[in-house]
Amino acid sequence: MALGNVANKLLLESYQESPATWRSFAAIRSASNFHEHTAIRPSFTGSLQQVAPGGELKHGTVSEWTSHFKVDTFGKLLSIDRRDLVNDDLSIFDQTARAFGRAAMRALADLVYSVLLANAGNFFSEDNGNYLVGVDTALGIEGLSKAITAMLTQRDDEDNDLDLRPATLLVPPELQTAARGVLESEYITTLPGQPTGNSVKKAVALEVEPRLSNTAKFGSAASTKHWYLFANPGATPMIVAFLNGQQSPTVEFFGLDQDVNRLAVSWRVYFDYGAALCDPRAAVRAKGEN
């Protein structure tokens, strides 16, 4: 039991220490079962109106953006021979438990970014006003300014401004130097007589995600040029859901006395989660052509 507790602790510590860039823009949801669930982001249309004498209030309407998500189970079983434990003085046990924790977070991140890159239902599209194409969408002052404007000018069906605010710039590693230059530089090179200050300095936070350009794993949807701008998680650009709200994997340890036919320790790790795109108005994708 003591060995099992150590394994659980090491695995969960490693899981919690692993990077999770998606947390900067994805809303967390809890699912009570494995059925399909509907996420609703209502938009209250119509501005507040002055109340006429007599106190009668006018009715507003609610339009809805909906998406569907469900959780599924992902898991792994691993055993270590008793002799390996004794010969290695338990360091293999330590390393394996930590590797399991990293693998759990990696699998979750893989799912989130496979959903993002798949762009189901043309979530990112010119019709939704959140997909930018053209030579001016390369990551730079002009490209980022265009993406920020695209989000700030999102409106509902009655042309009311939604007051969304860009919060996170997400880029592949190949664009991190350009991104840091855009967000951190005090001055920019301009034409003679033009301002030299950086108008988008610290405009948003930066996250660097290697999966965005991993064509070997994610195919042609991945790119070294595409980049994304997101509102904060409360605006639900994406949803990551966990069964009963449990945001860490379940670890079950089986000692030497669990199977009379084997002199080995084993542990089973499983994790219930899912991901889905939600509100396209809270996200912008730039093709990044140059």
Indicate whether 49 belongs to any domain.
no
pLDDT band of residue 113 (cuts 50, 70, 90) is very high
CATH number, domain of 282, equals 3.90.1690
Indicate whether 8 belongs to any domain.
yes
- pLDDT one-digit tens code per residue, 55-78: 666 655 555 667 889 999 999 887
pLDDT band of residue 169 (cuts 50, 70, 90) is very high
Indicate whether 145 belongs to any domain.
yes
**Considering its fold, how many domains does the chain have in total?**
1
What pLDDT was estimated at residue 45? 54
pLDDT band of residue 184 (cuts 50, 70, 90) is confident
- pLDDT one-digit tens code per residue, 212-269: 999 999 999 999 999 999 999 999 999 999 999 999 888 787 777 776 667 787 878 8
Give which of 100, 126, 88, 109 is closest to 6, Cα–Cα: 100
- pLDDT > 50? residue 1: no
| Residue 99 or residue 226, greater confidence | 226
Angstrom distance (rounded) from CA 173 to CA 220: 17
In our burial notation (b when 16+ CB lie closer than 10 A, e otherwise), range 190-211 reads eeeeeeeebebeebbebbbbbb
Indicate whether 10 belongs to any domain.
yes
DSSP-based three-state secondary structure for 107: helix
Query: Contact at 8 Å (CB) between 212 and 174?
Result: no
* DSSP result, 18-67: S--GGGGTEEEEEESSSS-EEEEEEEEES---PPPTT-PPPP-EEEEEEE
Give which of 150, 144, 285 is closest to 204, Cα–Cα: 144
- pLDDT one-digit tens code per residue, 130-160: 999 998 899 998 999 999 999 999 988 778 8
pLDDT band of residue 170 (cuts 50, 70, 90) is very high
Which residues form the domain of 177? 2-38+66-286
- pLDDT one-digit tens code per residue, 26-57: 999 999 999 999 887 656 555 666 776 766 66
Indicate whether 45 belongs to any domain.
no
What pLDDT was estimated at residue 42? 57
What's the chain's average pLDDT? 84
| Amino acid found at 94 | D
Angstrom distance (rounded) from CA 4 to CA 254: 7
Indicate whether 57 belongs to any domain.
no
Indicate whether 54 belongs to any domain.
no
User: What is this structure's pTM?
Assistant: 0.83
What pLDDT was estimated at residue 236? 93
* DSSP result, 190-237: --TTS--B-TTTTSSEEEE-GGGG-HHHHGGG--SS-EEEEE-GGG-S
Indicate whether 243 belongs to any domain.
yes
Give which of 172, 155, 173, 177 is closest to 164, Cα–Cα: 155
What pLDDT was estimated at residue 290? 59
- pLDDT > 50? residue 271: yes
What pLDDT was estimated at residue 160? 82
- pLDDT > 50? residue 192: yes
| Amino acid found at 59 | H
CA-angle at 114, arms to 111 and 118, nearest 5°: 145
